[in-house]
Chain A
Amino acid sequence: MSNSTAKLPPTLDKNRRLDRWVRINIEGTVTVRTGKVEIGQGIVSAIAQIAAEELDINYSRIRMMPVDTTISPNEGSTSGSRSVEEGGEAMRQACAEIRDALLQAAARKFDTSLEKLSVEDGTIRVRGSSDTITYWQLAPEANLARDATGQVRPKHADEFKLVGKALPRLDITAKLTGAAFIHDLVLPGMLHGRIVRPPSYRAKLLSLDDGAARAMPGVRAIVREGSFIGVIAGREEQAVKAMQALARGCEWREQADLPDVDAMPEFLLAQAAEDENLSDKSAASTAPGKTLTATYTRPYLAHASIGPSCALAWWHEGTLEVWSHSQSIYALRDEIAKILKLSPDNVIARHADGAGCYGHNGADDAAFDAVLLARAVEGHPVRVQWMREDEFAWEPFGPAMVVKVGGSLSVNGNVTEWKEEIWGNRHVSRPGRHPDPGLLAAWHFDQGYEPPPAVDMPLAMGGGSQRNAVPYYDFPGQSVINHAVKAMPVRTSTLRALGAYINVFAIESFMDELAAAAGIDPVEFRLRHLKDERAQAVIRAAAAKAGWKPNAKGDGTHGMGIGFARYKNIGDYVAVIAKVAVAESVRVVRVVAAIDCGCIVNPDGIINQVEGGIVQATSWTLKEQVRFDRTRITTRTWEDYPILNFSEAPKVETVLINRPEQASLGVGEGMAGPTAAAIANAVFNAMGVRVRELPMTPERIVAAMGE
């Protein structure tokens, strides 16, 4: 490793070999390997766009390859809206260096200098001469089997030809014409597996009568490891029927060890917690003024992917191959190897697209299920798909949380003191984040593993439960404390935006409560507490687009509200204004969002994410809550867990503020919290009723009216 290597983007620094990222093919195409995966956010196409830009080739020449642990760069997990920031930056630098290597080869060939060369769609021309050569001709001699150096500067924003354009995604046509997902993979000799999950988290299998299932047509094997049970059959419907027969043959011992779903705040507040001070600055003077306090809560929320988790595994000749829609393919490989005491070199994991996941769902668990089943039929690939009921019951939920906020106002209506405390589980139980394995089936082995405790990222990297807990506003006095609850009775992990959903909901609701107490317009109140001009700009842009009228009151049923955040306090800037109509229930009629995510790679891709994030957050906020009795998760089907439908989905208008000179920032998650707050603030604006508990069901509205 040379000491002269300039600073490289972190994931390129970890995967320096240029030929891991890009291969120039003699037939005029370019194979590009990113370590980031498609989870419905359009990221793979955005990275293709960046590669085409830096290489100076047409976008249509790019062939994006799914992550494969035998060759792809290891870029960790695809999460936290970091894919363009991390994966895009690494790709940008790698491609700039590859373009340079190709130009150097051309310069040598024509005995000229780099300055004399220009490139268009992979064809290099020597200025003032008729000499041309293409990347495809140069491919054999340009040495890409070397490390990135950081010595080549990627393009400057004003040189961009493709970045910033609304190019179509590479994957959409396939998805709406036929096979495109992991669910659609077929391997020679493939069998179908299904799992019989326990009826509740800590149920123990007392006895299993598998006679009926064994006698069923097509059944090839039944796998039992402790309380883990699965079945393999030749046809998919045979596997389903055998699974149902097996379930009838099980006798379980269960325990009533879940808290009261309708008293989660009380439960969380009563638990032992690891306390951490997230911010502590004391005000210079404490001039007397109004003081307010309020408590905000959120329930457990499900990822509730439309497609159930699915995976394929195949043991053959001492190798295990796994296909998964996991967000962390390398970590999944390592975790499987660790549990089964294999060398990671003998395990190959590959990504194939799943349905949108919005965080850590059952993807990794399904992969391990497939591995365990396939081991019983060596030589045959086994495809496992979860049942909808198991997807709901066993996926890790986004944790329930409580946020208490207190604030004081000066006589001229400025916040002098802000006090905030949050309670809930930490948010990350992805595989690879803890010494104990995070794969579900391993908990049910006889020599089982305890479910690993969830962890948080450090706040400087965006945190988890504490994400956006510290207000982005400038308050003279401020204290923020996280009480990370240790007991984890319900399985939890990352759900889109993590703690930012409720933390921003609480902060932005309370800002409105303070603004009302101070008699100041909510937009004006926010602006006067923000120093960052980019933050002010999104608020002004949203207000202008929405036709915000300062101090306008709703008419008893219609109202408008605003929410703002800078995601993770280091990511994209988002201001959301919601317009609601309240009858028996809250209807969100229209939402306007203004976003500043630095340099825009694909404006249409960003608008797609923003529209989707807002509709999803509206659904969480108005309707969603995972339910359980004292023993079992009772949310099992879409009837138990209604989500927003087409008639209920709000119209969304998006204003993008492009800053080509700034770093690109991810947009997948930033709108969740502001949307929730904008809706609550609009309800208050409409009817003077403050709803602090999520979801804002009709019953909650009625209850809040009585307060």
Chain B
Amino acid sequence: MTETIKLNVNGVEHSVTAEADTPLIYILRNDLNLMGTRFGCGLGQCGACNVLIDGNNVASCDTPLWAAAGKRTTTIEGLGTPDHLHPLQQAFVDEQAAQCGYCVNGIIISAKALLDRNPEPGEDEIRAALDRNLCRCGTHNRFIRAIQRMVREAKGNVAR
């Protein structure tokens, strides 16, 4: 049974018609054309599909459409655009923090969730906050450096 459900994604109101148990990821990607949220496992195990719902970091493959109804969802597209990168995205570009880049957006979302609750995390806290994101290319250290750069720059004390 399809239903029409109202969503707020990246500050924009949408209404979508689909079965209420449809994993949110398919709605974001196929109905709203927000392709930066990536399908990795569909099992809530890898973090590639992470989005923020009311500020909480969740796997959109593991979240039914109805659970996002009436809440505020933020995807990578809601952070910044190629011309106006979010400081976190900018830090990732500056550190060239990607190999294939498939896992990256989920990692940026996890980093955003971390920094929103703890603006100056130590390295161990960053690592722990990313432990549910998988990266097969082994780009872990670059991601950590990018997040540390973001933290430094946010403090206005840029190294180098």
Q: Which A618-653 residues sit within 8 Å CB-CB of chain B?
A: 618-619, 637-639, 643-647, 649, 651-652
Closest beta carbon of chain A to B107's beta carbon, Å? 9
Give complex CA distance A179, B28 in Å. Answer: 12
Give complex CA distance A647, B128 in Å. Answer: 6
Give complex CA distance A647, B129 in Å. Answer: 9
A308 contacts B by Cβ under 8 Å: yes
Q: Which residue in chain B gives the minimum CB-CB distance to A652? A: B141
A645 adjacent to B101 (CB under 8 Å): no
A608 adjacent to B48 (CB under 8 Å): no
Contacts of A644 in B (CB 8 A): 138, 140
B96 adjacent to A169 (CB under 8 Å): yes
B66 contacts A by Cβ under 8 Å: no
A388 adjacent to B139 (CB under 8 Å): no
A211 contacts B by Cβ under 8 Å: no
- Stretch with Cβ within 8 A of B (4 or more), from A34-42, A141-149, A551-559, A698-706: A34-42
Contacts A237-B26, A307-B38, A647-B127 given; indicate if A615 touches B140 (C-beta within 8 A): yes
A177 adjacent to B82 (CB under 8 Å): yes
Q: What is the number of residues of chain B that contact chain A, defined by CB distance less than 8 Å?
A: 58
A358 adjacent to B136 (CB under 8 Å): yes
Give complex CA distance A604, B77 in Å. Answer: 27
Closest beta carbon of chain A to B139's beta carbon, Å? 6
B23 adjacent to A237 (CB under 8 Å): yes
Interface string of B73-110 (1 = CB under 8 A from A): 00011001110010001001100101111111100100
Q: Which residue in chain B gives the minimum CB-CB distance to A179? A: B35
A85 contacts B by Cβ under 8 Å: no
B18 adjacent to A39 (CB under 8 Å): no
Closest beta carbon of chain B to A683's beta carbon, Å? 20
Contacts of B143 in A (CB 8 A): 646
- Stretch with Cβ within 8 A of B (4 or more), from A127-135, A180-188, A264-272: A180-188
Q: Which residue in chain B gives the minimum CB-CB distance to A325? A: B100
Q: Which B106-129 residues sit within 8 Å CB-CB of chain A?
A: 108, 124, 126-128
A172 adjacent to B98 (CB under 8 Å): yes
Closest beta carbon of chain A to B84's beta carbon, Å? 10
Select A306's contact among B35, B42, B134, beta carbons within 8 Å: B134
B139 adjacent to A181 (CB under 8 Å): no
A168 contacts B by Cβ under 8 Å: yes
Give complex CA distance A612, B99 in Å. Answer: 8
Counting chain A CB atoms within 10 Å of each CB, the highest count among B45, B101, B138 belongs to: B138
Closest beta carbon of chain A to B112's beta carbon, Å? 12
Give complex CA distance A387, B107 in Å. Answer: 21
B99 adjacent to A178 (CB under 8 Å): no
Contacts of B124 in A (CB 8 A): 647
A176 contacts B by Cβ under 8 Å: yes
B42 adjacent to A613 (CB under 8 Å): no
Counting chain A CB atoms within 10 Å of each CB, the highest count among B34, B98, B105, B133 belongs to: B98
Contacts A169-B96, A178-B77 given; indicate if A646 touches B41 (C-beta within 8 A): no
Contacts of A645 in B (CB 8 A): 130-131, 134
Q: Which residue in chain A gives the minimum CB-CB distance to B130? A: A646
Contacts of A39 in B (CB 8 A): 100
B134 adjacent to A356 (CB under 8 Å): no
Contacts A42-B99, A176-B105, A637-B45 given; indicate if A236 touches B26 (C-beta within 8 A): yes
Q: Which A634-692 residues sit within 8 Å CB-CB of chain B?
A: 637-639, 643-647, 649, 651-652
Q: What are 22 residue pairs bridging A and B, where the CB atoms are less than 8 Å apart in the complex?
A: A42-B99, A168-B96, A169-B98, A173-B89, A176-B98, A177-B85, A178-B34, A181-B38, A235-B30, A306-B137, A307-B38, A353-B100, A356-B100, A385-B39, A388-B43, A608-B99, A608-B142, A615-B139, A616-B136, A619-B138, A646-B127, A647-B124
A interface residues (Cβ-Cβ under 8 A, vs B):
39-42, 168-169, 171-181, 183-184, 186, 217, 235-237, 304-308, 353-356, 358, 385, 387-388, 604, 608-609, 611-616, 618-619, 637-639, 643-647, 649, 651-652
Extra contacts, 7 of them, besides A179-B33, A358-B136, A647-B124 (Cβ < 8 A), are A177-B77, A177-B85, A306-B135, A308-B39, A353-B100, A611-B139, A616-B137
